Chains A and B, each alone.
Chain A
Amino acid sequence: GAVVSQHPSRVICKSGTSVKIECRSLDFQATTMFWYRQFPKKSLMLMATSNEGSKATYEQGVEKDKFLINHASLTLSTLTVTSAHPEDSSFYICSAQRQGAYEQYFGPGTRLTVT
């Protein structure tokens, strides 16, 4: 199987600060990476799709200026939550996908708590 890592696994930050989450595909080149958010006892909500070297495509209702996504290489994408508020507290999960494939391989997730 494919291995995707996320860092940090857990982060606590104060309101108004920014937090960066990294997602790395460790054993394959990911032309596309996805960022999801999961609310308690809910399904995964796709936030945005990022292709290496181009701007991310955001889903309806997701603020692009608040959730900055960068996919600078075929193995790394980052999500920066800017000016975090308590309502941004959630479980954020990334996934990586090979070119032309349907399967996505997920990272272990990052638990963000904004105080």
Chain B
Amino acid sequence: DQQVKQNSPSLSVQEGRISILNCDYTNSMFDYFLWYKKYPAEGPTFLISISSIKDKNEDGRFTVFLNKSAKHLSLHIVPSQPGDSAVYFCAVSYGGATNKLIFGTGTLLAVQP
């Protein structure tokens, strides 16, 4: 039972264009949402997050959008750069005592020069 889904296993984008990565979740109780970037054989790197009380958060080239009614989260990267090529994981949390994260399955982004 996958509570967090990233339906696109891979995405290819030209350098300079926008990359849009999508994530869907099933539980409306999730209250915090995060995006991580991961290179092979390394740990994930935190990118950006958003709480359920907001619908948009921006940090430089990265913007996260949250649509609670659709239970949908997206990450926009603009302009995309070759160094952005990596696997991107969305993660969700429903708080509680330990604020555990549930990760999506990941999307491999390839930015072509």
A-side residues, CB < 8 A to B, are 1, 4, 6, 32, 34, 42-44, 46, 49, 51, 57, 91, 93-95, 97, 101-109, 111
Contacts and interface: CB of A to CB of B under 8 A. Distances in A.
A57 B98 contact: yes
Contact of A101 (B43, B44, B99, B104): B99
A44 B100 contact: no
A26 to B, nearest CB: 13
A49 B45 CA distance: 19
Contact of A91 (B41, B45, B93): B41
Contacts of B34: 102-103
Summarize A's interface: helix, strand, loop or mixed.
Answer: strand
B106 A104 contact: no
Contacts of A102: 32, 34, 49, 93, 95, 99, 101
Given A43-B104, A44-B89, A102-B101, 6 more contacts: A43-B105, A102-B99, A105-B46, A106-B36, A107-B43, A108-B42
A103 B45 CA distance: 10
Interface in B69-113: 89, 93, 95, 98-106
Contacts of A103: 34, 46, 49
A91 B107 CA distance: 19
Nearest to B108: A41
Nearest to A38: B38
A107 B45 CA distance: 9
Contact of B100 (A6, A49, A107): A49
A76 B89 CA distance: 26
9 contacts: A4-B43, A6-B43, A43-B103, A44-B89, A46-B100, A57-B98, A94-B43, A102-B99, A103-B46
A106 B106 contact: no
Contacts of B98: 32, 49, 51, 57
Nearest to A107: B43
Interface in B46-61: 46, 49
Contact of A42 (B44, B45, B46, B105): B105
Nearest to B92: A102
